[in-house]
Amino acid sequence: MIDITIAPDQQALAQLAAERFIRIANQAIEQRGQFSAAVSGGSTPKALHHQLAASNRQIQIDWQATHIFWGDERGVPPDHPDSNYRMVQETLLDQIKIPADNIHRIQGELPPEQAAAVYQSELFHFFAPNNPRFDLVILGLGTDGHTASLFPHTSALNKTALWVTENQAVQLDRWRITLTAKAINAARQVIFLVSGEGKAEILKTVLEGPHLPQDYPVQRINPANGKIFWLIDEKASQQLRNI
């Protein structure tokens, strides 16, 4: 059974996501003393970050015990306009008091394979002695069915032994570094944030259509010991029938 919540609009979606983020964070800190979250790139998460940065909400999270990772990054320096790090820095990190050591940036400025290897080592160092297991992974959905930088019919889909890998999609003009499905599926909780009528068709395809994980890599996301929550807005839900 897929857990889907439909919010009336993008603002309500962001508020819902912020409330769930805070709940998961506090539960993790209470149970394990820390909270590890991999945030997403793209535009949809910006509204969530603004909600989390709001004064009445940011005080609800112990940022000293919170560690921010990224689900993926573009092969660019951290100050590049396309950098996912820069987007999260501007919309969230600059507004909260979080220790620099708690920010685990993917070094997109490095050669792709090296950037992936360095980030994978950082994950194993942070989660040692266990395998990496995020308390929360935030993901978006591309109109081609990608999530993070797991694009259809690309090499990253076959790197099943890795936790982080470099990837390139034909339509992209640059490399990406991404968590693999293995890393995402190890998470305790995954939240998909999907907003806008432009996502209505792909959402119906991936949630109600056939299982074609090479065509629609988002269908590879299925945490073995974790939960997936789909937080979507009314416009994105328009073509769904089984809800």
**What residues make contact with ligand 6PG under the rule CB under 6 A?**
40-44, 71-72, 84, 140-142, 146-149
State the minimum distance, in angstroms, from the CB of residue 213 to ligand 6PG.
Answer: 16
C-beta closer to ligand 6PG: residue 145 or 223: 145
Tokens coding 8: 């009336």
State the minimum distance, in angstroms, from the CB of residue 32 to ligand 6PG.
Answer: 26
Q: 132: which DSSP letter?
A: P
C-beta closer to ligand 6PG: residue 147 or 219: 147
Q: Is the dihedral of CA 62, 66, 70, 75 positive or negative?
A: positive
Residue type, 130: N
Bridge partner residues of 176 (DSSP) = 74, 167
State the minimum distance, in angstroms, from the CB of residue 87 to ligand 6PG.
Answer: 9
Position closest to ligand 6PG via CB: 140
C-beta closer to ligand 6PG: residue 174 or 227: 174
Q: Which residue from 129, 139, 78, 82 is spatially nearest to 104, judged by alpha carbons? A: 78
C-beta closer to ligand 6PG: residue 65 or 70: 70
Buried b (16+ CB within 10 A) or exposed e, 185-218: bbbbbbbbbbbbeebbebbbbbbeeeeebeebbb
State the minimum distance, in angstroms, from the CB of residue 190 to ligand 6PG.
Answer: 13
**What span, in angstroms and rounded, lies between the C-alpha atoms of 165 and 112?**
8
State the minimum distance, in angstroms, from the CB of residue 194 to ligand 6PG.
Answer: 8
C-beta closer to ligand 6PG: residue 41 or 223: 41
Q: Which residue from 113, 105, 184 is spatially nearest to 150, judged by alpha carbons? A: 184
